[in-house]
Amino acid sequence: MTTVSIDALKQAPVEDCWGFYGTLRMSDHLSPEELQRAWEIAFDAICEVPARGNTILTRNFLRSRYGRHFADMTCNFAGTVAERIQQASGEYGVRKMLDRLICEGGLRELFEEDPALV
């Protein structure tokens, strides 16, 4: 099992042009500081999803195609980025996406070449 500090996991993968971070960067045109804050809010929100609160799973989720879909879901709500993330994280689809990622092996090991591993 991968052992990485929570601080490293909460650092946004700024080079990503996919997943949650890349999708928000392209669609919401946020500053790097706002993107980092949005990543941290999303990280905490996904960790709070009942029975799925694993930090490695959360990071893998946000960096995957599911993270991109989650970022797209946040656009369906009104409010600040933080409010939209909180609303989207309560959606049933998020739990289903997390379950799929668990089945794909995203629960225990970070994706290869994850910057948090450096």
Rounded-to-10 torsion of CA 20, 25, 29, 35:
70
pLDDT of residue 29: 82
Task: Flag whether pLDDT at 1 surpasses 70.
Answer: no
| pLDDT tens, position by position, 62-90 | 999 999 999 999 988 999 999 999 999 98
More confident residue, 26 or 113: 26
Would you tell me the crossing angle of helices 55-63 and 65-74 to the nearest 10 degrees? Answer: 80
pLDDT of residue 112: 76
pTM: 0.88
What is the chain's Cα-based Rg? 13
Distance CA 1, CA 35 (A): 28
pLDDT of residue 2: 58
pLDDT band, very low/low/confident/very high, at 28 (cuts 50, 70, 90): confident
